[in-house]
């Protein structure tokens, strides 16, 4: 791939994946001395929080006990990472 991209490796328990992004997009999102993996980690958690929130609060059949428990844990992890709640950072409250 072109020299103006960066490839990051995502590792799970038994599997891996790679994502290639334009290097400049990471530079645009960088705050202070954040590393490329930190930026992508932030994006991954933000995306997961957004999806479970949408499932619980905006999708037919998504407001189940199982999904609410997943959302609760996700939002706890979100607040631990970002130091603010999902509602505070997005301005989207219920």
Positive or negative, the Cα torsion across 64, 54, 13, 73?
Answer: negative
DSSP helix, strand, coil percent of the chain (3-state; round to 5): 55, 15, 30
CB atoms within 10 A of CB 1: 7
Please write the tens of the pLDDT for every residue from 8-28. 999 999 999 999 999 999 999
Q: Cα–Cα distance between 72 and 3 in angstroms, integer?
A: 41
Please write the tens of the pLDDT for every residue from 64-79. 999 999 999 999 999 9
pLDDT interval class at 92 (50, 70, 90) = confident
Please write the tens of the pLDDT for every residue from 25-72. 999 999 999 999 999 999 999 999 999 999 999 999 888 999 999 999
């Amino acid at each position: 791939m072109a020299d103006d991209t960066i490839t990051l490796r995502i590792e799970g328990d038994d599997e891996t994946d790679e994502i290639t992004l334009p290097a400049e997009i990471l530079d645009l999102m960088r705050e202070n001395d954040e590393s490329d993996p930190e930026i992508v980690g932030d994006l991954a958690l933000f995306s997961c929080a957004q999806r479970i929130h949408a499932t619980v609060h905006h999708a037919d059949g998504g407001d189940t006990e199982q999904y609410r428990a997943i959302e609760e844990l996700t939002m706890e992890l979100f607040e631990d990472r970002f130091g603010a709640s999902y509602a505070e950072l997005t301005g989207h409250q219920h």
